[in-house]
Amino acid sequence: MVEIKTDAAMDAMREAGRVVARALAAVREAAGVGVSLQELDEAARAVLAEAGAGSPFLGYRPSFAPVPFPAVICTSVNDAVSHGIPTGYRLRDGDLVSIDCGAELDGWAGDAAITFTVGTPRPTDLDLIDATQQALDAGIAAAQVGSRLGDISHAIDTVARKAGCGMPADFGGHGIGRRMHEDPHVPNRGRPGRGFPLRHGLVLALEPMLMAGGQNTYRTGTDGWTLRTTDGSRAAHIEHTVAITDQGPRILTLP
């Protein structure tokens, strides 16, 4: 069931979104050569604790997962597309890192993701990040009252295809509100003019995940969580929580 939010609810979600933005900024600042993924998780935990916010990631266990998720952020490095578990792995020069983070504040959730390089960047990684950001920007621009869900999906897909990138089948964005994952599912591929009608108060987490190798397939790592490219190519993941309003799309997870 798709829940349409009131203006007051969207304002409350904006506050949860601010916490997510602060946590992602703290992680980005903490990241560097030699820093462990667990240390990045600790940086995010500190922000959530200071804000009095909970984590929708910690303890989350969807049907595919062998164990509950043990952290407050997903840390996906290089060929990892998403859902990476923070471990003792220490970042190396040239790593490509995607961080996904959520927060629950006063009963409302926010969800966002960033991708960045550590140390000396590869030009191809910077191109991949740029393409992923462009895909997200296109999806947000398509999130207009009177359009349909397929318009968002098609906008994201168009940018990914133009860049020659693949996207993992079966994974995409989602509705968000009282819970991190709500209806509707937001595919990153779709046909314009199709799908759920967009109206004021619909809040979606839009999250293109681009794989540089151009394939749409993925494999699940040995931890049962991490999605990895099947060809070993690099991946990027960028996400915002977006409210659809009569005044245009409102990004709730900006700083």
Q: pLDDT per residue over 63-122, tens digit each?
A: 989 999 999 999 999 999 999 999 999 999 999 999 999 999 999 999 999 999 999 999
Q: Tokens representing 14?
A: 């904006």
205 close to 239: Cβ distance less than 8 angstroms? yes
What is the Cα–Cα distance from 36 to 23, expressed in whole angstroms?
16
Residue with tokens 């597309």: 81
> What does pTM read for this prediction?
0.97
Domains of the chain: 7-251 (3.90.230.10)
Q: What is the pLDDT of residues 131-149, one digit of tens each?
A: 999 999 999 999 999 999 9
Show the CA angle centred on residue 251, arms to residues 250 and 255, nearest 5°: 135
As separate numbers, helices (DSSP H) first and strands (DSSP E) second, the chain gives 4, 13
